[in-house]
Amino acid sequence: MTSNLLSNPTTEKSYDRTEWKKGYQSQPNEYDYWVDDIEGEIPHDLRGTLFRNGPGLLDIHGTSIRHPFDGDGMISAISFKEGKVHFRNRFVRTEAYVQEQASGQILYRGVFGTQKPGGLLNNAFDLRLKNIANTNVIYWGDKLLALWEAAEPYRLDPATLETIGLDYLDGLLKPGDAFSAHPWIDPSCEMDGGKPCFVNFALKSGLSSKITIFEFNLQGKLLRRHAHAIPGFSFIHDFAITPHYCIFFQNPVGFNPFPFLFGLKGAGECVQYQPNQPTRIIMISRQEPDAKPIIIETPSGFVFHHANAFEVDNKVCIDSICYDSLPQVDPDISYKDVDFDKLDPGKLWRFSVNLETKIVERELLESRCCEFPAIHPDQVGRNYRYLYIGAAHHPTGNAPLQAILKIDWQTGERQLHSFAKHGYVSEPVFIPKPNATAEDDGWIITLVYDGSHHRSDVVILDGKNLNEKPIARIHLKHHIPYGLHGSWTSECFV
């Protein structure tokens, strides 16, 4: 551990709640500048752009939204070139963002409970979705796409972050179609002669569900598309891939639409965890799209994110962050007053599916509260040695993510770089060094909200040794509210 170990880790909080809350203040401003306040040195051979997405507004003209997941998407672009770094951020000009900013009030209900003013009468039976484009952002096939899983992507100019408009993927999507916010890049697709391909899915859920798989080549042209009917309601946020499979965890949840229809709750708040139901692991063949999906039941909990999956002999292993139940905030309090101790922490599990016996074995890999995994991009879908993940400062209990944890599956060694007491981390990204051969020979970049200065830092860590002090700590002039996901491209847009 690298920073201020606290004197009594069993009782003393690793964070200050007042500081933590300030990371949820809106950032209405849009910036564009070279950053000059830097501790350490930016590596000269680090070249490219980190795009990040997340809610930039936590209020609409002073009225708080109900949940950060309802916040309008704001893209940050952090570009590295010749030892220098440039920052730019822009809101995605979604139709709803433009309308609400012009009118000065909330005009749409949010999926996670934000309501329009005017009570039930003004909210009941308004079933429009506010596409907030706030979950992920990825550059692929010369397009920069802001993703939100329940609707079409928004396309942006990667150099200016100006919004170009809704993108229907050359006519593959129809208005209102979903497109997940969790694509994977298969680094070496067996079906395409070892070329990389972009794999994503779309989920349509009701009494039964339909999962559509999309695979695109480097130019963004469709390679493969196939759809599969799955029994039951599904709440599936992420998936995993191997060379042969797309793997989904159908969480044990039900959906009661009535509070949503009658204007009492957001649709996302009507999802109910069903602890006595199993999780269904759904494996869809990538290479034989006509094959029936393999569906295997396992007790699990609730999964948002998968770290990776890989095939070994007749087994498929899936490493996932699993909660004992669906984490939901008490409807009577603000998300900023959440009692961390009352919510289950996410923990890392390995699910090993035996394809012959159809038996699933579960193993707890890491019990420390953790979320937002990252791996070497060439190891996606392959057996891998190193995992990097956001983690709590203390080894037990539930708390905000304040550290980056590195796990070596070969030796079992853990390294933890903690930013407690004032720092709160976001999803790390692993960037291999040019000409590197070792799997951990690269840089870890993460945004850290510094609650003591109310600003965000871009921090570069040495992927080989998290115990070292940061290679560089880049102080932005302002804060970026806690974000969701992002991605790296070696293209430098500055």
Who's near 289: CB < 8 A, 6+ residues apart? 213, 224, 226
In the numeric block, which tokens belong to residue 439?
């799997």
User: Which residues on adjacent β-strands are paired with residue 8?
Assistant: none
**Does 237 appear as a known binding residue?**
yes
**Residues 417 and 467 sit within 8 Å (Cβ to Cβ):** yes
Question: Is residue 485 marked as binding?
Answer: yes
Q: Is 182 annotated as a binding residue?
A: yes
Is there a binding annotation on residue 478?
no
Number of CB atoms found within 10 A of residue 62's CB: 8
Report the distance separating Cα 299 and Cα 399, nearest Å: 25
Q: Indicate the annotated binding residues for Fe cation.
A: 182, 237, 305, 485
Residues of the binding site: 182, 237, 305, 485
